[in-house]
């Protein structure tokens, strides 16, 4: 892990040359309550870095960076976990870009409001990447600001030779939160950040631009058509037959990918019966029982759900995979593929979102109507991904999910 001592002079130089989000968990939304009374702080005089400069510290994939200088950033909160599609994370944005802050609190919307200023003392925090993949079908991931991921110190110290899956972990203990994160004033509506608009070319340029300023920004994309670039329909969903057992990338026997093959067919339907924005626990169970997934392969290629049996060596029991899945239903995140300005965009929704069970209108799914979407522009393995906050028929203002 790199440790960065960052001088104020270097910060100034960076300013001159830079003018300028696999697993989601339950949010457990509760009725709105006012957060505990607090006095907003104003730390403007202490701010000595920008979000772009913090992202610029991360230069090598697979090498999380600990910040050891007294860097303080200021950003406006652009997300809330109230609707359930953002969990234990907050996105903050300034004039230079945006970043995912891994604030490990659920139901945080009582205390952390959209439009509120947040100050972050970055010393001791880590910049890491989620979702990087090398090769032709890969690319850069999402930069996050949090604590060092579990197991990384042992890996970096040579105690273990297995690279951990996540470079950052959550800032979830109150004393650590209080040491690093400070709540400022809530901006009036007219002063809050407005969604940015980007072209398909700009989304394509994100692929390998690790420090891209537009990744994590509050964004609006207009005129999206349902489907992929091969004129087919496609979703992506990763789930674990027995979520009580290990299910990292090293345990592919406990993973199932609902997705297209690399050599997907033109005009094919790879939606696996999923017509809602994502899967609640009940809808997941219904589809698993229906048999629509029976021919889907297990992650290790050992067989298909409807025929293969679990290995005793891996699971501790032998049982038909389908029965295991039915016995362990869980809400699941789903990404639906849309086309925007010639580029595929994966629109991702958590199974715990309030609108998880809302059906995507048939006139959208069959391509006869387009949609406009608002949310957070993200990136996974070089591809444009989008955390959905709202969606409309193109040119209208009535939400399709609220």
pLDDT in tens, 375-392: 999 999 999 999 999 999
- Same domain, yes or no: 254 and 346: yes
Instruction: Tell me what pLDDT residue 256 has.
Output: 98
Instruction: Tell me what pLDDT residue 10 has.
Output: 44
- Same domain, yes or no: 267 and 340: yes
Instruction: Tell me what pLDDT residue 7 has.
Output: 43
State the chain's mean pLDDT as an integer: 90
Neighbours of 161 (CB within 10 A): 7
Would the pLDDT of 92 be above 60?
yes
Would the pLDDT of 20 be above 90?
no
- Same domain, yes or no: 188 and 207: no
Q: Which of 75, 48, 96 is nearest to 181 (CA)?
A: 75
- Same domain, yes or no: 28 and 127: yes
Question: What's the pTM?
Answer: 0.89
Sign of the CA dihedral running 203, 114, 94, 353: negative
Residue ending a domain, choose from 193, 222, 253? 193
Least confident of 12-21, 154-163, 306-315: 12-21
Distance CA 73, CA 178 (A): 15
- Same domain, yes or no: 294 and 165: no
Instruction: Tell me what pLDDT residue 106 has.
Output: 74
Would the pLDDT of 34 be above 70?
no
Instruction: Tell me what pLDDT residue 145 has.
Output: 97
- Same domain, yes or no: 108 and 220: no
Residue ending a domain, choose from 150, 170, 193? 193
CB burial of residue 366 (10 Å; 0-12, 13-18, 19+): exposed
Instruction: Tell me what pLDDT residue 8 has.
Output: 40
CA 171 and chain centroid, separation: 16
- Same domain, yes or no: 147 and 269: no
- Same domain, yes or no: 48 and 156: yes
Question: What Å distances lie between residue 303 and 163, 292, 313, 317, 327, CA to CA?
Answer: 28, 16, 16, 17, 19
Question: What Å distances lie between residue 153 and 64, 147, 158, 388, CA to CA?
Answer: 10, 11, 9, 34
- Tens digits of per-residue pLDDT, 5-19? 444 444 444 433 333
Would the pLDDT of 79 be above 60?
yes
Q: Compute the 3-state secondary structure of the chain and give helix, strand, coil in percent, each to the nearest 5.
A: 20, 30, 55
- Same domain, yes or no: 170 and 202: no
Neighbours of 238 (CB within 10 A): 17
Q: Which of 278, 285, 361 is nearest to 87 (CA)?
A: 278
Banded pLDDT at 37 (limits 50, 70, 90): confident
Categorise residue 201: left if φ over 0, alpha if ψ from -120 to 50, beta otherwise: alpha
User: In the structure encoding, which two tokens stand for residue 337, read together?
Assistant: 């593929």
Q: Which residues pair with 91 in a beta bridge?
A: 100
Instruction: Tell me what pLDDT residue 1 has.
Output: 61
- Same domain, yes or no: 177 and 258: no
Instruction: Tell me what pLDDT residue 35 has.
Output: 52
Contact 370/225 with Cβ under 8 angstroms?
yes
Q: Which residues pair with 299 in a beta bridge?
A: none
- Same domain, yes or no: 69 and 152: yes
- Same domain, yes or no: 164 and 209: no
**CA angle (255, 256, 259) in 5-degree steps:** 140
Residue ending a domain, choose from 193, 218, 234? 193
Q: What is the domain count for the chain?
A: 2
Instruction: Give the domain extent around 288.
Output: 195-402
């Amino acid at each position: 892990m790199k440790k960065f001592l960052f001088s104020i002079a270097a910060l100034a130089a960076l300013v001159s040359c830079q003018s300028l989000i696999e697993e989601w968990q339950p949010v457990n939304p509760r009725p709105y309550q006012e957060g505990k009374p607090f006095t907003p702080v104003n730390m403007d005089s202490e701010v000595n870095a920008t979000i772009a400069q913090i992202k610029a510290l991360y230069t090598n994939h697979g090498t999380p960076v600990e910040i050891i200088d007294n860097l303080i950033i200021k950003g406006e909160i652009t997300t809330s976990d109230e609707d359930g599609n953002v969990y234990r994370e907050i996105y903050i944005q300034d004039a230079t870009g945006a970043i995912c802050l891994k604030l490990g609190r659920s139901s945080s919307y009582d205390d952390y409001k959209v439009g509120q200023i947040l100050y972050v003392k970055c010393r001791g925090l880590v910049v890491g990447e989620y979702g990087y993949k090398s090769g032709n079908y890969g690319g850069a991931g999402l930069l996050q600001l949090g604590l060092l991921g579990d197991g990384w110190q042992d890996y970096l110290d040579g105690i273990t030779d297995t690279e951990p899956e996540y470079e950052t972990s959550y800032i979830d203990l109150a004393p650590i939160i209080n040491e690093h994160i400070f709540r400022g004033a809530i901006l009036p509506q007219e002063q809050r950040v407005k969604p940015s608009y980007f072209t398909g070319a700009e989304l394509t340029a994100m692929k390998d631009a690790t420090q891209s300023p537009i990744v994590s920004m509050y964004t609006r994309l207009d005129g999206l058509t349902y489907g992929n670039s091969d004129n087919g329909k496609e979703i992506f969903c990763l789930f674990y037959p027995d979520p009580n057992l290990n299910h990292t990338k090293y345990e592919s026997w406990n993973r199932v990918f609902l997705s297209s093959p690399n050599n997907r067919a033109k005009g094919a339907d790879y939606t696996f019966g999923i017509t809602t924005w994502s899967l609640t626990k009940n809808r997941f169970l219904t589809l698993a029982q229906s048999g629509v997934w029976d021919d889907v392969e297990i992650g290790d290629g050992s067989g298909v759900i409807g025929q293969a049996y679990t290995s005793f060596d891996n699971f501790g029991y032998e049982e038909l995979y389908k029965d295991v899945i039915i016995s362990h239903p869980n809400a699941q995140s789903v990404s639906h593929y849309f086309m925007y300005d010639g580029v595929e965009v994966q629109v991702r929704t958590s199974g715990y979102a309030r609108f998880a069970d809302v059906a995507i209108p048939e006139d959208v799914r069959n391509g006869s109507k387009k949609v406009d979407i608002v949310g957070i522009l993200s990136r996974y393995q070089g591809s444009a991904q989008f955390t959905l906050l709202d969606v409309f028929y193109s040119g209208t203002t009535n939400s399709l999910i609220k």
